[in-house]
Homo-oligomer: A and B are copies of this chain.
Protein backbone atom coordinates (compact mmCIF):
# COMPACT_ATOMS: atom_id res chain seq x y z
CA UNK A 1 0.00 0.00 0.00
CA UNK A 2 3.03 2.29 0.01
CA UNK A 3 3.47 4.64 -2.93
CA UNK A 4 6.07 6.96 -4.45
CA UNK A 5 5.52 10.36 -2.82
CA UNK A 6 5.94 13.65 -4.60
CA UNK A 7 9.07 14.70 -2.71
CA UNK A 8 12.21 12.92 -3.79
CA UNK A 9 10.25 9.81 -4.78
CA UNK A 10 10.49 8.43 -1.23
CA UNK A 11 8.24 5.47 -0.35
CA UNK A 12 6.04 6.75 2.43
CA UNK A 13 4.29 4.65 5.06
CA UNK A 14 0.53 5.08 5.26
CA UNK A 15 -0.68 5.98 8.77
CA UNK A 16 -3.94 6.98 10.39
CA UNK A 17 -4.46 9.33 13.31
CA UNK A 18 -6.07 7.57 16.27
CA UNK A 19 -7.61 9.84 18.91
CA UNK A 20 -9.04 8.73 22.25
CA UNK A 21 -11.03 11.45 23.99
CA UNK A 22 -11.27 10.84 27.73
CA UNK A 23 -12.91 12.81 30.53
CA UNK A 24 -9.57 14.26 31.67
CA UNK A 25 -7.02 13.65 28.92
CA UNK A 26 -7.02 12.98 25.21
CA UNK A 27 -4.39 10.67 23.74
CA UNK A 28 -3.58 10.57 20.04
CA UNK A 29 -1.00 8.98 17.82
CA UNK A 30 -0.10 7.86 14.31
CA UNK A 31 -0.50 4.17 13.56
CA UNK A 32 0.26 2.18 10.41
CA UNK A 33 -1.87 -0.61 8.96
CA UNK A 34 0.06 -3.20 10.96
CA UNK A 35 -0.74 -1.53 14.28
CA UNK A 36 2.65 0.08 14.83
CA UNK A 37 2.25 3.39 16.67
CA UNK A 38 5.05 5.67 15.45
CA UNK A 39 4.46 8.53 17.83
CA UNK A 40 1.81 9.64 20.32
CA UNK A 41 1.03 12.50 22.67
CA UNK A 42 -1.49 13.64 25.26
CA UNK A 43 -3.37 16.91 25.75
CA UNK A 44 -5.83 17.83 28.51
CA UNK A 45 -9.41 17.49 27.23
CA UNK A 46 -10.60 20.58 29.15
CA UNK A 47 -14.19 19.57 28.49
CA UNK A 48 -15.50 22.65 30.34
CA UNK A 49 -14.41 24.69 27.30
CA UNK A 50 -16.45 24.53 24.08
CA UNK A 51 -15.78 21.51 21.86
CA UNK A 52 -14.65 23.77 18.99
CA UNK A 53 -11.71 24.92 21.09
CA UNK A 54 -10.82 21.34 21.92
CA UNK A 55 -10.72 20.31 18.26
CA UNK A 56 -8.63 23.36 17.39
CA UNK A 57 -6.11 22.47 20.10
CA UNK A 58 -6.17 18.82 19.04
CA UNK A 59 -5.46 19.75 15.44
CA UNK A 60 -2.55 22.02 16.40
CA UNK A 61 -0.95 19.36 18.59
CA UNK A 62 -1.58 16.57 16.10
CA UNK A 63 -0.11 18.68 13.31
CA UNK A 64 2.99 19.43 15.36
CA UNK A 65 3.34 15.73 16.17
CA UNK A 66 2.94 14.79 12.52
CA UNK A 67 5.79 17.16 11.72
CA UNK A 68 8.14 14.71 13.41
CA UNK A 69 7.19 11.86 11.04
CA UNK A 70 5.90 13.56 7.88
CA UNK A 71 9.06 12.89 5.91
CA UNK A 72 8.32 9.19 5.96
CA UNK A 73 4.53 8.98 6.56
CA UNK A 74 1.33 9.79 4.70
CA UNK A 75 -1.90 10.44 6.65
CA UNK A 76 -4.85 8.41 5.33
CA UNK A 77 -7.69 9.05 7.79
CA UNK A 78 -8.71 9.79 11.36
CA UNK A 79 -10.42 7.55 13.93
CA UNK A 80 -11.87 9.03 17.10
CA UNK A 81 -12.85 7.04 20.19
CA UNK A 82 -15.09 8.99 22.56
CA UNK A 83 -17.82 8.37 25.13
CA UNK A 84 -21.32 8.07 23.57
CA UNK A 85 -19.92 8.49 20.08
CA UNK A 86 -22.27 7.47 17.28
CA UNK A 87 -20.60 5.83 14.28
CA UNK A 88 -23.54 6.38 11.92
CA UNK A 89 -23.92 10.08 12.64
CA UNK A 90 -20.26 10.88 13.34
CA UNK A 91 -21.26 12.61 16.55
CA UNK A 92 -20.78 12.58 20.31
CA UNK A 93 -24.16 12.84 22.05
CA UNK A 94 -24.73 13.59 25.76
CA UNK A 95 -21.41 12.09 26.84
CA UNK A 96 -21.04 11.27 30.54
CA UNK A 97 -17.86 12.91 31.98
CA UNK A 98 -17.84 15.60 29.23
CA UNK A 99 -19.91 18.76 29.39
CA UNK A 100 -20.38 18.90 25.60
CA UNK A 101 -24.03 18.17 24.89
CA UNK A 102 -23.67 17.39 21.18
CA UNK A 103 -20.59 17.49 18.98
CA UNK A 104 -20.34 16.71 15.29
CA UNK A 105 -16.90 15.13 15.34
CA UNK A 106 -16.72 14.63 11.59
CA UNK A 107 -17.66 18.27 10.90
CA UNK A 108 -15.09 19.52 13.42
CA UNK A 109 -12.36 17.42 11.83
CA UNK A 110 -13.43 18.47 8.34
CA UNK A 111 -12.45 22.04 9.26
CA UNK A 112 -8.82 20.94 9.31
CA UNK A 113 -8.52 17.78 7.23
CA UNK A 114 -9.87 16.50 3.93
CA UNK A 115 -9.67 12.87 4.92
CA UNK A 116 -12.06 10.09 5.97
CA UNK A 117 -13.08 10.47 9.64
CA UNK A 118 -15.00 7.97 11.79
CA UNK A 119 -15.99 7.90 15.45
CA UNK A 120 -17.33 5.35 17.90
CA UNK A 121 -17.11 4.64 21.60
CA UNK A 122 -13.94 3.32 23.18
CA UNK A 123 -15.18 -0.25 23.62
CA UNK A 124 -16.14 -0.57 19.96
CA UNK A 125 -12.79 0.94 19.00
CA UNK A 126 -11.07 -1.59 21.28
CA UNK A 127 -12.93 -4.43 19.54
CA UNK A 128 -11.70 -3.24 16.13
CA UNK A 129 -8.21 -2.79 17.58
CA UNK A 130 -8.20 -6.42 18.73
CA UNK A 131 -9.52 -7.56 15.34
CA UNK A 132 -6.93 -5.72 13.27
CA UNK A 133 -3.91 -5.70 15.58
CA UNK A 134 -4.57 -7.79 18.69
CA UNK A 135 -5.93 -11.01 20.18
CA UNK A 136 -8.82 -11.31 17.68
CA UNK A 137 -6.74 -11.33 14.49
CA UNK A 138 -8.33 -13.85 12.13
CA UNK A 139 -11.53 -14.11 14.19
CA UNK A 140 -14.93 -13.26 12.76
CA UNK A 141 -17.02 -13.65 15.93
CA UNK A 142 -15.86 -12.33 19.28
CA UNK A 143 -16.70 -9.98 22.13
CA UNK A 144 -14.41 -7.42 23.73
CA UNK A 145 -15.15 -6.44 27.32
CA UNK A 146 -13.46 -3.29 28.63
CA UNK A 147 -13.14 -3.19 32.39
CA UNK A 148 -12.55 0.33 33.62
CA UNK A 149 -14.65 2.62 35.78
CA UNK A 150 -17.57 0.93 34.02
CA UNK A 151 -17.96 -2.12 31.79
CA UNK A 152 -17.96 -1.46 28.06
CA UNK A 153 -18.29 -3.97 25.25
CA UNK A 154 -17.89 -4.31 21.51
CA UNK A 155 -19.40 -7.26 19.65
CA UNK A 156 -18.13 -8.53 16.30
CA UNK A 157 -20.19 -11.01 14.27
CA UNK A 158 -19.53 -12.20 10.71
CA UNK A 159 -16.34 -10.11 10.80
CA UNK A 160 -18.22 -6.87 11.35
CA UNK A 161 -18.70 -4.74 14.43
CA UNK A 162 -22.34 -4.66 15.51
CA UNK A 163 -23.48 -1.04 15.71
CA UNK A 164 -27.18 -1.97 15.69
CA UNK A 165 -30.06 0.05 14.32
CA UNK A 166 -29.09 3.24 16.17
CA UNK A 167 -25.29 2.93 16.38
CA UNK A 168 -25.29 2.16 20.11
CA UNK A 169 -25.21 -1.67 20.21
CA UNK A 170 -22.86 -3.45 22.60
CA UNK A 171 -23.96 -2.20 26.02
CA UNK A 172 -23.45 -5.47 27.89
CA UNK A 173 -22.50 -3.41 30.97
CA UNK A 174 -26.15 -2.44 31.19
CA UNK A 175 -27.68 -5.89 31.06
CA UNK A 176 -29.35 -6.79 34.33
CA UNK A 177 -27.84 -8.99 37.04
CA UNK A 178 -30.44 -8.26 39.72
CA UNK A 179 -33.56 -6.13 39.22
CA UNK A 180 -33.40 -5.10 42.88
CA UNK A 181 -29.63 -4.81 42.94
CA UNK A 182 -27.13 -1.97 43.11
CA UNK A 183 -28.03 1.51 41.89
CA UNK A 184 -26.39 2.23 38.56
CA UNK A 185 -25.29 5.60 37.20
CA UNK A 186 -27.74 5.01 34.34
CA UNK A 187 -30.72 5.31 36.69
CA UNK A 188 -31.54 1.62 36.74
CA UNK A 189 -30.70 -1.07 39.29
CA UNK A 190 -28.49 -4.13 39.17
CA UNK A 191 -26.66 -3.45 35.90
CA UNK A 192 -23.68 -5.72 35.26
CA UNK A 193 -21.23 -2.83 35.54
CA UNK A 194 -22.31 -2.12 39.12
CA UNK A 195 -20.75 -5.52 39.96
CA UNK A 196 -18.09 -6.02 37.30
CA UNK A 197 -15.83 -2.98 36.87
CA UNK A 198 -13.21 -1.14 38.91
CA UNK A 199 -15.96 0.56 40.92
CA UNK A 200 -18.04 -2.63 41.00
CA UNK A 201 -15.33 -4.60 42.78
CA UNK A 202 -14.92 -1.73 45.28
CA UNK A 203 -18.64 -1.95 46.03
CA UNK A 204 -18.29 -5.72 46.44
CA UNK A 205 -15.48 -5.23 48.96
CA UNK A 206 -17.70 -2.91 50.98
CA UNK A 207 -20.48 -5.47 50.81
CA UNK A 208 -18.15 -8.23 52.05
CA UNK A 209 -16.82 -5.95 54.82
CA UNK A 210 -20.29 -5.37 56.21
CA UNK A 211 -21.59 -8.91 55.72
CA UNK A 212 -18.62 -10.97 56.89
CA UNK A 213 -16.17 -10.90 59.78
CA UNK A 214 -13.20 -11.77 57.58
CA UNK A 215 -10.22 -9.67 58.70
CA UNK A 216 -8.74 -7.50 55.97
CA UNK A 217 -6.46 -4.49 55.53
CA UNK A 218 -9.16 -3.09 53.29
CA UNK A 219 -11.33 -2.47 56.36
CA UNK A 220 -9.08 0.53 57.07
CA UNK A 221 -9.73 2.20 53.72
CA UNK A 222 -12.76 4.40 53.12
CA UNK A 223 -14.95 3.65 50.11
CA UNK A 224 -13.94 6.91 48.45
CA UNK A 225 -10.25 6.07 48.85
CA UNK A 226 -10.54 2.43 47.83
CA UNK A 227 -9.26 1.48 44.36
CA UNK A 228 -9.31 -1.76 42.42
CA UNK A 229 -5.51 -1.63 42.48
CA UNK A 230 -5.58 -1.79 46.31
CA UNK A 231 -7.88 -4.80 46.11
CA UNK A 232 -5.54 -6.43 43.61
CA UNK A 233 -2.52 -5.77 45.84
CA UNK A 234 -4.37 -7.13 48.88
CA UNK A 235 -5.33 -10.26 46.93
CA UNK A 236 -1.69 -10.73 45.91
CA UNK A 237 -0.81 -10.65 49.62
CA UNK A 238 -3.38 -13.39 50.21
CA UNK A 239 -6.05 -11.15 51.76
CA UNK A 240 -9.04 -13.48 51.77
CA UNK A 241 -11.64 -10.76 51.59
CA UNK A 242 -9.96 -9.32 48.50
CA UNK A 243 -9.73 -12.81 46.97
CA UNK A 244 -13.42 -13.34 47.67
CA UNK A 245 -14.20 -10.03 45.97
CA UNK A 246 -12.43 -11.22 42.81
CA UNK A 247 -14.23 -14.57 42.96
CA UNK A 248 -17.60 -12.87 43.30
CA UNK A 249 -16.82 -10.47 40.44
CA UNK A 250 -15.82 -13.37 38.20
CA UNK A 251 -18.87 -15.39 39.19
CA UNK A 252 -21.27 -12.59 38.20
CA UNK A 253 -19.35 -11.90 34.99
CA UNK A 254 -19.39 -15.59 34.06
CA UNK A 255 -23.15 -15.84 34.55
CA UNK A 256 -23.79 -12.89 32.27
CA UNK A 257 -21.19 -13.94 29.69
CA UNK A 258 -23.11 -17.22 29.38
CA UNK A 259 -26.10 -15.10 28.28
CA UNK A 260 -23.94 -13.15 25.81
CA UNK A 261 -22.55 -16.38 24.35
CA UNK A 262 -26.13 -17.65 23.88
CA UNK A 263 -26.77 -14.55 21.74
CA UNK A 264 -23.76 -14.46 19.42
CA UNK A 265 -21.68 -17.62 20.09
CA UNK A 266 -18.27 -15.92 19.96
CA UNK A 267 -14.98 -17.72 19.37
CA UNK A 268 -13.49 -15.70 22.24
CA UNK A 269 -14.21 -13.05 24.83
CA UNK A 270 -11.30 -10.65 25.12
CA UNK A 271 -10.69 -8.54 28.22
CA UNK A 272 -9.28 -5.06 27.97
CA UNK A 273 -8.51 -2.38 30.54
CA UNK A 274 -7.27 -1.99 34.11
CA UNK A 275 -9.18 -4.67 35.99
CA UNK A 276 -8.50 -7.18 33.19
CA UNK A 277 -4.79 -7.00 34.04
CA UNK A 278 -5.54 -8.78 37.33
CA UNK A 279 -4.97 -11.98 35.33
CA UNK A 280 -5.99 -15.28 36.89
CA UNK A 281 -7.59 -13.51 39.84
CA UNK A 282 -10.38 -12.48 37.50
CA UNK A 283 -10.00 -14.95 34.60
CA UNK A 284 -10.22 -18.15 36.66
CA UNK A 285 -13.50 -17.49 38.49
CA UNK A 286 -15.00 -15.96 35.32
CA UNK A 287 -14.13 -19.01 33.22
CA UNK A 288 -15.42 -21.42 35.86
CA UNK A 289 -18.69 -19.56 36.28
CA UNK A 290 -19.22 -19.09 32.54
CA UNK A 291 -18.68 -22.80 31.83
CA UNK A 292 -21.01 -23.74 34.69
CA UNK A 293 -23.79 -21.57 33.30
CA UNK A 294 -23.36 -22.08 29.56
CA UNK A 295 -26.05 -23.78 27.49
CA UNK A 296 -24.65 -27.27 26.74
CA UNK A 297 -23.89 -26.71 23.07
CA UNK A 298 -21.49 -23.84 23.90
CA UNK A 299 -19.50 -25.51 26.70
CA UNK A 300 -15.70 -25.74 26.36
CA UNK A 301 -15.67 -23.74 23.15
CA UNK A 302 -15.31 -20.09 24.11
CA UNK A 303 -11.83 -18.76 24.87
CA UNK A 304 -11.30 -16.03 27.48
CA UNK A 305 -8.27 -13.98 26.43
CA UNK A 306 -6.42 -10.90 27.62
CA UNK A 307 -6.04 -8.01 25.19
CA UNK A 308 -3.43 -8.60 22.51
CA UNK A 309 -2.71 -4.91 22.01
CA UNK A 310 0.70 -3.65 23.02
CA UNK A 311 0.54 -1.75 26.32
CA UNK A 312 0.50 2.01 26.61
CA UNK A 313 -1.20 2.98 23.40
CA UNK A 314 -4.15 0.58 23.36
CA UNK A 315 -6.81 3.31 23.12
CA UNK A 316 -4.95 4.98 20.25
CA UNK A 317 -4.60 1.63 18.46
CA UNK A 318 -8.35 1.06 18.82
CA UNK A 319 -9.27 4.48 17.44
CA UNK A 320 -6.82 4.01 14.59
CA UNK A 321 -8.23 0.53 13.84
CA UNK A 322 -11.69 2.08 13.46
CA UNK A 323 -10.62 4.13 10.46
CA UNK A 324 -8.24 1.47 9.08
CA UNK A 325 -11.22 -0.91 9.06
CA UNK A 326 -13.33 1.61 7.11
CA UNK A 327 -10.51 2.27 4.64
CA UNK A 328 -10.06 -1.47 4.12
CA UNK A 329 -13.79 -1.95 3.48
CA UNK A 330 -13.76 0.84 0.93
CA UNK A 331 -10.89 -0.84 -0.91
CA UNK A 332 -12.80 -4.15 -0.93
CA UNK A 333 -15.82 -2.42 -2.45
A interface with B by C-beta (< 8 Å): 139-142, 155, 157-158, 160, 162-172, 174-176, 179, 186-188, 191, 255, 258-260, 262-267, 293, 295-298, 301-302
Contact = CB atoms under 8 A, between A and B. Distances in A.
Given A171-B262, A259-B175, A260-B263, A158 B158 contact: yes
A2 to B, nearest CB: 29
Instruction: Point out which of A157, A163, A167, A255 has the most chain B C-beta atoms below 10 A from its C-beta.
Output: A157
A326 B267 CA distance: 23
A165 B140 contact: yes
B168 A265 contact: yes
A121 to B, nearest CB: 11
Q: DSSP class of A's interface residues: helix, strand, loop or mixed?
A: loop
Contacts of A155: 263-264
A142 B166 CA distance: 12
B296 A264 contact: no
Given A259-B175, A262-B171, A264-B155, A166 B296 contact: no
A295 B188 contact: yes
Contacts of A166: 265, 297-298, 301
Contacts of A186: 295-296
B176 A255 contact: yes
A165 B267 contact: yes
Contacts of A297: 166, 168, 171
Contacts of A176: 255, 258-259, 293
Given A158-B158, A255-B176, A296-B186, A165 B263 contact: no
B263 A175 contact: yes
B265 A164 contact: yes
A296 to B, nearest CB: 6
